[in-house]
Structure 1
């Protein structure tokens, strides 16, 4: 059996462990994550945390199915289509654009009074 077949078998058995409504726990962490398929070695897909938190070493045995409710704050925010009161913070204040001078009619700079 070559490496590609071995990786495919590992990935398939890992995916089979997750049924409908299953969530994911990494090692002995108390955090329960939502699940999504993530790319692994040789393009194989493995269940992983939806928030994309790192699982050290891409070890498929580090993640375990969990039937408890999702407790990861990032996973909860990602699954909420319209999180109330959450908006993008402004990084730099944007100065208002001045309105065009209505007296010049667009023909260049306005004449200076003499």
Structure 2
């Protein structure tokens, strides 16, 4: 194997690792956002588990996280606005990334 092949393999491995970490951070952020919204909605522990799954599933409707934001904003109704939900998701993502870095 040449040096070029080694570098190419290392780059591919890093890319795969980075994408996996990004996926995990996004999923964790969605869970945190669902827990935040569920608390505002007054969900019980059992209802919260179901709600978290619903929010995570909503992320598969389209690329990006706008589908999650729409769902949570709609679920909260007049209890929160879209800007607050968006800000909370950004905070959840930052927390998720920090947690993942701490686990590494």
TM-score (norm 1): 0.29
Higher helix share: 2
Larger Rg: 1
Taking structure 2 as the reference length, the TM-score comes to: 0.31
Decide which structure has greater strand share. Answer: 1
